[in-house]
């Protein structure tokens, strides 16, 4: 039996391919390569280039292979772009989910692990955030993921499909050997942008606001290493295999770090001075997002190994140094 990784050419999907194969799983991948990179998928992995909104290719995959479970990473994920182009996000993210679940139902596939996000919570009323806290997304990206969770919930009740939805906080870092990592066409994430300074691609990093109600005035986030994240997907699959019921889990390291602290950690990890400029706030950024991941600890037995920010940034640095222009290097 195989595991189908949908969106395996993306940042998080490609790390999951590595982790699942290292764990002895047989992996099959589908990706439309709209934002993903073919180079991030090992040559020996069976790869289908296509879109999960295309029911024909899904039926072909489910017919040609014995698929036990689906790990679903396909989505557009830029918050700012989602505000500008909401229909693009609802069409791709929500449309993809409906098509995938329809194909699973037609082909008798009963387990799905879904890539959700802290953005489903919106602006939290208190920290840390629990899975039971209310979800009021503040942008179409977060809303699309929340809608996708609701769709799986109702489908799972009707068709005997069980799911695990994993709400990621701020995913960072790269595979330990530096062979794969984060490579977005429009980079908006803090750590890759910080590292562009020591790479010589930008002169300074702009801090989006230093007047937040936090210890140093900059936003606080909960950074989780992409390898730890991948481990959670493996544990989630084991959990479903052992008959576990459908669940939603937060995945964070459990500690919050400010933008300024991350820049200081990057200075240590790279051994370089990283100049900063204070800019204005970025619209829609909550002051503080920190997960309570106790549920994942207790039920999945998931404990992140990377809790030191310097180590997380060092692993990203290894990738960016060896691939200064991403996969085109
Ligand atoms: N930031 C800067 N300067 C930059 C880039 C980012 O100060 O050049 C700050 C942001 O304001 C924010 C923090 O760094 O406070 C982290 O920003 P990212 O863009 O790296 O990450 P976000 O917290 O905005 O977004 C992440 C995921 C999203 C997800 C969201 C959930 O990347 O996919 O968490 O809230 F939706």
Residue 78 has pLDDT above 90, yes or no: yes
Q: Encode pLDDT of 157-209 as tens digits.
A: 999 999 999 999 999 999 999 999 999 988 999 999 999 999 999 999 999 99
Give the pLDDT confidence score for residue 284 in this predicted structure: 83
Q: By alpha-carbon position, which residue is closest to atom 31 of ligand 1?
A: 119
Report how far ligand 1's centroid is from the alpha carbon of 242 (Å).
36
Give the pLDDT confidence score for residue 185 in this predicted structure: 85
Q: Encode pLDDT of 98-142 as tens digits.
A: 999 999 999 999 999 999 999 999 999 999 999 999 999 999 999
Give the pLDDT confidence score for residue 283 in this predicted structure: 86
Q: Which atom of ligand 1 is nearest to the CA of 78?
A: 33
Give the pLDDT confidence score for residue 56 in this predicted structure: 98
91, 97, 100, 105: CA torsion to nearest 10: -130
Question: What average pLDDT does this structure show over 257-261?
Answer: 98
Known catalytic residue at 121: no
Q: Return the exposure string of 86-100: e unless at least 16 CB atoms fall within 10 Å of the residue's CB, then b.
A: eeebbebbbebbebb
In the chain, beta strands by DSSP E: 2-6, 26-31, 46-49, 67-72, 111-117, 162-168, 170-172, 205-208, 220-221, 223-225, 247-251, 257-258, 276-279
Residue 329 has pLDDT above 90, yes or no: no
Report how far ligand 1's centroid is from the alpha carbon of 195 (Å).
15
Give the pLDDT confidence score for residue 254 in this predicted structure: 84
Is the Cβ atom of 77 under 6 angstroms away from ligand 1?
Answer: yes
């Amino acid at each position: 039996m195989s595991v189908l990784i949908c969106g395996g050419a993306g940042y998080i999907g490609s790390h999951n391919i590595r982790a699942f194969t290292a764990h002895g799983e047989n992996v099959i991948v589908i990706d439309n390569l709209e934002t993903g990179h073919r180079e991030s998928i090992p040559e020996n992995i069976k790869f289908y280039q296509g879109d999960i909104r295309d029911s024909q290719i899904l039926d072909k995959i489910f017919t040609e292979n014995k698929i036990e479970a689906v790990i679903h990473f396909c989505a557009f994920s830029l918050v700012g772009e989602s505000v500008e182009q909401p229909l693009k996000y609802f069409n791709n993210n929500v449309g993809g989910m409906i098509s995938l679940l329809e194909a699973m139902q037609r082909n008798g596939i009963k387990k799905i692990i879904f890539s959700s996000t802290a953005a489903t919570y919106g602006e939290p009323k208190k920290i840390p955030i629990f899975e039971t806290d209310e979800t009021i997304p503040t942008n179409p990206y977060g809303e699309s993921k929340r809608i996708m969770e609701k769709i799986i919930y109702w489908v799972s009740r009707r068709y005997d499909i069980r799911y695990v939805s994993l709400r990621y906080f701020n995913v960072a870092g790269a595979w330990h050997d530096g062979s794969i990592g984060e490579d977005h066409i429009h980079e908006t994430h803090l750590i890759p942008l910080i590292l562009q300074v020591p790479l010589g691609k930008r002169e300074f990093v702009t801090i989006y606001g230093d007047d937040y109600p936090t210890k140093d005035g900059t936003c606080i986030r909960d950074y989780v290493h992409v390898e730890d994240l991948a481990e959670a997907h493996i544990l989630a699959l084991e959990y479903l295999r052992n008959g576990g019921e459908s669940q939603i889990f937060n995945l964070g390291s459990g500690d919050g770090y400010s933008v300024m602290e991350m820049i200081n950690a990057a200075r240590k990890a790279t051994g370089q001075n990283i100049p900063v400029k204070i800019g204005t706030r970025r619209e829609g950024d909550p002051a503080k997002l920190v997960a309570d991941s106790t549920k994942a600890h207790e039920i999945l037995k998931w404990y992140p190994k990377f809790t030191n920010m310097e180590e997380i940034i060092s692993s990203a640095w290894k990738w960016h140094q060896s691939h200064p222009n991403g996969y085109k290097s």
